[in-house]
Structure 1
Amino acid sequence: MNAALATSTLQVRKAALSQTRWHTGAPVPLAPGQVRLGIESFAFTANNVTYAAFGDAMHYWQFFPTGDEAWGCIPVWGFSVVTESLCEGLAVGEKFYGYYPMGSELVMQPVRVTPAGFFDGAVHRQALPVVYNQYMRCSTDPFYDAATEDVQSLLRPLFITSFLIDDFLADNDFFGGGTTLLLSSASSKTAYGTAFPLARRKGLEVVGLTSPGNTAFCEGLGCYSRVLAYDALDSIAADTPCIYVDFAGSAALRQRIHGRFGQLRYNCSIGGTHVDELAAKGGSRDLPGPRPVLFFAPAQVKKRVADWGAEAFGRQLAQAWQNFTRKVTGAEPPWLIPERHAGRAPLEAVYREVLAGKGDPRTGHILQP
């Protein structure tokens, strides 16, 4: 095997996410109609930890199968360049934004190739949500800006989820009067991306719940009505009509919120940034109040495309994205500072840091395999 041409992918043990290994092999020859993409860079955030935590329940492990049921490949968002093509309409050197494995390359079977991009037509992905199978051609993508490529990798997939959470709650009239919204893991990018549009709606109190070490960061964002450390939850009146937007996935916190708030209108379960405390591992049993409902962003995309049409949905999303990124990059200090890491050891170090929920919330990790 030529080491210079070897492919490498970081895999994690599904039952013990702290265990990792590198899988290295020779590049697979392309079949007619296929394309090889060299992965240039990708973001790794708490959102990717959620993909791993819910890998079985939400089928995230199925996107990039490893051939070994005990080991999985966590999907990430980033950029790649075509290095070899046997597919008409896709030329060597073109750059694409999309969903990739944590590795050096991806071979795909493009279908529905247009000036905007293509979809991966691989058999194992056909039953998976289409939103994850689309690859955007950077030369025509209205979201793409070479100057803010890292910010796009870090925030674009998260903000789409944030945009849809805000829209879903409003679309359901905040479940009959839940005018106080409790957002856990408030320093996470998806949480403050959700707080940003919610803060623009009248009559809502958006409360950020976070660890004591992140309260100052969250307060400085200016998109939360108030910020509370987790141990200060009792400062909110028990009879407050509220909605819990659960980004943390902590079973203990979920129990406390359901036990305290008799007028909890809805529990919108988003992710699992607190992997060791995941409510999915039994913490949702025998809860008073409403049953926690896992939010599935592709379902809201499907609904809104049906309601508004694909073009109108795209325009609203693009406008919201522009408003958000202007705030993120234009604030002083910036809400997000990308930090690049290249090579196996730095990549693994970032993975373990994010998995453990550590690090500066203002730092966004961009990895180069």
Structure 2
Amino acid sequence: MNTTLQVRKSALGETRLVQADDKPLAQGEVRMRIDSFSLTANNITYAAFGDAMNYWQFFPTGEEGWGIVPVWGFGTVVQSLHPGVAVGERVYGYWPMARSVVLAPAKLDAHGFLDGAEHRKELHKVYNHYQRTGADPFYTPDTEDVQALLRPLFATSWLLEDFLADNAFFEADTVLVSSASSKTAYGMANQLKKWPQVRVVGFTSARNRAFCESLGCYDQVLAYEEIDRVPEEASCVYTDFAGNADFRRKVHTRFKNLRYSCSIGGTHVQQLGGAKDLPGPRATLFFAPAQRTKRVAEVGAPELLRRLAADWHAFRNEVTNAAKPWLKVRRHEGTDAVVAAYRQVLAGGDDPRTGHVLTLN
């Protein structure tokens, strides 16, 4: 029996638990037990942009109006009708919020495989790839929770820093960051420390200001209402992790030398809005897999993976420093606990040091 947490696409706070008998496997398929997965503002972004970015298509419910929010974590093969995937194998990847899922492994190699299910063939392989933990340069057995929480976010952080540097920061000397307490935002800010010629200004709520300042990756941390403390003539790039339409307009209106504006997330779910008729540059959605594809074409996948893994381990060590941790893991087990955790993350206002790791088993 499988249990899945589904949400109403038009009202993300409305949830339901759906139980269904496990369907028999077809030849070439495997059944994965989903051992644990993280839940962060990034997953809320997947839901908020579910239609625009095709996130609802990865694990379709088959019922109009209901979707499954994708999550990252670890799973174990519990049944296999595929000769290249053994029962007991452990993998990292993209999952539904469920107890189990059926995959159709394709393009296998020593490192992992793609899900070759028909409905996923046109979706980006970054989300379709499942990494075997035994051949994963990111993997360490004692840090699975941190990997589930930060690895997918760090990849976006890393690729965004790479994109900005690749474009010489659009000739700006200041990077403005909304939702500075979010994990993807501070991951990018941490990477930007290697570019001292760029000043990084983080915007956050008053309650999260001390946390952001404690990280040491922002040159300045301001509350949203303090935007006028940044000179209006500043030559800047705006990296929008909040998706707050009102604040985006303030940024575009105030800064006459705004060189580039990109949207990465939607942590401010209640304030999401369009970006039409804004002064200055067009607000552009950042799609991390596109930058990854560009870099792979230039340096090759092994070299890109080497660079990313090296920076990941350095970042992970900093985040988990026992003397001054950036992150504290909170685990949730069982259906009631998972539903409660989802609603808590959706509502926002969480302690920014908290990282939620869940299991429905």
Fold shared by both chains (TM-score > 0.5): yes
Aligned to 2:289: 298
Matched, 1:310 2:301: yes
Moved more, 345-354 or 63-72: 345-354
Question: 1:330 deviation in Å?
Answer: 1.4
Query: What aligned pairs does 1:160-175 form with structure 2 within 5 A after superposition?
Result: 160-175=155-170
Aligned to 1:244: 238
Q: Secondary structure at the match of 1:330?
A: coil
Aligned to 1:263: 257
Question: 1:348 deviation in Å?
Answer: 1.0
Work out the CA distance in 2 between the residues paired with 1:153 and 1:44: 9
Matched, 1:337 2:328: yes
Question: AA paired with 1:272?
Answer: G
Aligned to 1:3: none
Work out the CA distance in 2 between the residues paired with 1:95 and 1:161: 24
Matched, 1:108 2:138: no
Q: Secondary structure at the match of 2:134?
A: coil
Question: 1:331 deviation in Å?
Answer: 5.7
Q: Secondary structure at the match of 1:69?
A: coil
Question: AA paired with 1:128?
Answer: L
Residue of structure 2 aligned with 1:287, choices 278, 291, 300: 278
Matched, 1:217 2:208: no
Question: 1:345 deviation in Å?
Answer: 1.1
TM-score, normalised by the number of residues in structure 1: 0.97
Q: Secondary structure at the match of 1:304?
A: helix
Q: Secondary structure at the match of 2:320?
A: helix
Work out the CA distance in 1 between the residues paired with 2:322 and 2:186: 14
Residue of structure 2 aligned with 1:88, choices 83, 86, 95: 83
Aligned to 2:10: 15
Matched, 1:54 2:65: no
Residue of structure 1 aligned with 2:202, choices 208, 214, 229: 208
Q: Which runs of 4+ in 1 moved over 2 A?
A: none
Deviations 1:10-35 (A, max 9, x none): 00000000000011000010000100
Work out the CA distance in 1 between the residues paired with 2:89 and 2:344: 33
Work out the CA distance in 2 between the residues paired with 1:168 and 1:187: 21
Question: AA paired with 2:215?
Answer: L
Question: 1:332 deviation in Å?
Answer: 2.8
Aligned to 2:317: 326
Deviations 1:240-263 (A, max 9, x none): 100100000000000110110011
Question: 1:121 deviation in Å?
Answer: 0.2
Aligned to 2:150: 155
Work out the CA distance in 2 between the residues paired with 1:141 and 1:308: 20
TM-score, normalised by the number of residues in structure 2: 0.99
Question: 1:202 deviation in Å?
Answer: 2.1
Work out the CA distance in 1 between the residues paired with 2:14 and 2:341: 14
Deviations 1:328-358 (A, max 9, x none): 1116320011111001111111111111112
Work out the CA distance in 2 between the residues paired with 1:170 and 1:357: 31
Question: 1:275 deviation in Å?
Answer: 0.7
Question: AA paired with 2:259?
Answer: R
Aligned to 2:65: 70
Residue of structure 2 aligned with 1:229, choices 219, 223, 229: 223
Q: Secondary structure at the match of 2:227?
A: helix
Give 5+ residue unaligned stretches, structure 1: 1-5
Give 5+ residue unaligned stretches, structure 2: none
Q: Secondary structure at the match of 1:199?
A: helix
Aligned to 2:185: 191
Identity %: 57
Name the count of aligned residue pairs. Answer: 360
Work out the CA distance in 2 between the residues paired with 1:174 and 1:269: 15
Question: AA paired with 1:7?
Answer: N
Aligned to 2:175: 181
Question: AA paired with 1:298?
Answer: P
Question: 1:117 deviation in Å?
Answer: 1.1
Aligned CA RMSD, in angstroms, stands at 0.7
Work out the CA distance in 2 between the residues paired with 1:299 and 1:235: 34
Work out the CA distance in 1 between the residues paired with 2:86 and 2:302: 27
Work out the CA distance in 2 between the residues paired with 1:70 and 1:285: 26
